[in-house]
Chains A and B, each alone.
Chain A
Amino acid sequence: MPALLRIGRTLRRTLLQAIPTVLGIVILNFFLLQLAPGDAADVMAGEAGSATAESMAALRSRFGLDNPVLVQLGHYLNNLAHFSLGFSPRYGMPVADLIAQRLPGTLTLMAFALTIAILLGVILGSLMASFAGRIPDRLLSIFSLLFYSIPSFWIGLMLIVFFSVKLGWLPSGGAGTIGSRLTGLPAILDKARYMVLPATSLALFYVAIYARLTRASMLEVKNQDFVRTAYAKGLTPFGVTARHILRNALIPITTMAGMHIGGMLGGAVVVETVYSWPGLGRLAFEAVMGRDFTVLLGILLLSSLLVIIANAAVDIIHAWLDPRIGAR
């Protein structure tokens, strides 16, 4: 029960702090986007190639783009207050529907990549810490440095060349076999096959970070007095690592993972482009090119919410991992 109480207190505080944060993000983003040259009408007219001044003015008045900036902001906030993200002039559909189409793809990709990254990173980092200074540690250090420094689009391309072109094991892009009418488990397996390569290329960079972080954190914990106490109890080295060292060493890793959820959204743009994965990152990119600011604002709002949720989750995990945190 005290654990639940601690978690509840943490959640309430996070929620209260989230409201002004989100409002600030929306307003700031709105003004930042106004600084970009051109608007949706300009781009649409340019693409059509036959716009007149009258038709552009008509477009602008239809989407409210001719109003003063503050009035536009007022409209947007009014929409938000009614739980609407507005209407995309370019796609001709509500922004919420547009995002709802793309969000699951990105979320699964991120979740998959983050899980791979944390699992592999912690395992490799524990290995490195156990063999600190010896050959396994040196070898893994070289690999982690390599993955840390290679850009993810290049890893993505090389994985396609190797696993799709040469070996033909995995599909090179897309999110599922087109035209297949699979259901149940086969459908999930089919999806997973398409996800392996993009998730791996997104994850490798983070694997490197978590491995190094786990190594450093475990080496630090290893020298603490309570580890000596654990050995003095007669525990095996594995028991000491699993029960005493790892849990204490995980705290900095969860902090980093929480911060990376926001960063992964950005990194996903590149990977989604390489693997033509229909996700949020590519939608954001297209929205920028089309000056479709309502869509972009919607995505930014959603990302900020995602980061806030991730931070709250990290807070809860912290309160669970470290009893001293909730006590303050």
Chain B
Amino acid sequence: MAPLLQVDNLTIRFPRAEPVRDLSFEISQGETLAIVGESGSGKSLTALALMQLLPRAARIANGSISFGGRDLTKLGAREMRHLRGREIAMIFQEPMTSLNPVMTIGRQIAEVLQVHEKLSSRAARERAIELLRLVRIPAPEKRVDDYPHQLSGGMRQRVMIAIAVACKPKLLIADEPTTALDVTIQAQVLDLLDTLRRELQMAVVLITHDLGVVAQWADKVVVMYAGRKVEQALPDDLFNDPLHPYTRGLLAASPRLKHDFHYRDGALTEIPGSIVSAVGETGCPFRPRCNQARASCSHHVPQLTVPAEDRLVACPFTTSIKAVPHAAALSL
């Protein structure tokens, strides 16, 4: 089956920078793809590029985004509006500010139905109540007339999800949907997303920097660093045998993955330096922060290779790293 969404060699350019370079990935119907990476790695820009809602200064310099056989980068504004909210929907990071404060949540949900399905306001309101019930908001008949400030953060994110799934989109982009939420709420919201994905047969692009989220909800993981894909794998493979030095660093910096982890067992490691050190470098963007770096790393950007089935990695020395015992790699 042809993938629902296929991104090929996507390059996003600002006047002075290229925050996303040569990014390729694909996602099939009903699948959850997680894109992980630290702040500034180009995750959110990629999401906005899929919606064709990039900031005005940015443009897509190269590559294509094929969705259901159509290249989104070549669609006109009118055709793109027709897709937005109807076939491709998006949930944003900040539920506190992503809803209009002076409109009731019911009208905000109804709006998307009125635009795309040409429903009357009465029918749209009925559907809005159903959708609130679908995202497990209690007493939806009463809540439909509430304003966003009357809801908690988790409730607002549920409303955002209701808006996003209102027209049963084929692709849902969730840009750090739980980052601003309480930990106890996070799992509820992600479970809800996952249930809806199954019920509506949606493909989900889940953007996150939380590896715990990836382990539990993703079918496929893309690790991004400085605008490039550095590794792609199935979640189990990624956690059991990370190949790229950056992925290893990320895992080592994450407490949830070791059993019974406690701060007395030893400090969490960190990846030295910051993503800014990749600016203006030739060769591998991770080289300044990499403990495996060699002289040859500065010559050219490493190409993606296929070390095993369903895996991609952009580091030529992965085989030799693999020889290093796993535990030693984790304490890098």
Contacts and interface: CB of A to CB of B under 8 A. Distances in A.
Contact of A226 (B89, B97, B112): B97
Contact of A229 (B81, B102, B163): B163
Contacts of A229: 92, 98-100, 160, 163
A12 to B, nearest CB: 22
A225 B149 contact: no
A325 B99 CA distance: 17
Interface in A62-105: none
Nearest to A244: B100
B101 A248 contact: yes
A243 interface: yes
B101 A324 contact: yes
Contacts of A228: 53, 92, 98
A327 interface: yes
A131 interface: no
Interface string B132-157: 00000000000001010110000000
A327 B151 CA distance: 13
Contact of A232 (B90, B100, B150): B90
Given A232-B51, A234-B115, A243-B111, A225 B98 contact: yes
A327 B150 CA distance: 9
Contact of B101 (A2, A234, A236, A322): A322
Contacts of B100: 226, 229-230, 244, 248
Residue with the highest number of chain B CB atoms closer than 10 Å, among A224, A230, A234, A322: A234
Given A233-B111, A243-B111, A324-B149, A225 B83 contact: no
A263 interface: no
B53 A235 contact: no
A231 B163 CA distance: 12
A226 B92 CA distance: 10
Interface in A229-284: 229-236, 239, 243-244, 247-248
Contacts of A225: 92, 94, 97-98
A233 B102 contact: no
A323 interface: yes
Contacts of A233: 84-85, 111-112, 115, 163
Residue with the highest number of chain A CB atoms closer than 10 Å, among B92, B102, B147, B160: B102
A243 B103 CA distance: 9
B82 interface: yes
Interface string B30-63: 0000000000000000000001010000000000
Interface of A: 2, 224-226, 228-236, 239, 243-244, 247-248, 321-324, 327
Interface of B: 51, 53, 81-86, 89-90, 92, 94, 97-103, 111-112, 115-116, 145, 147, 149-150, 160, 163
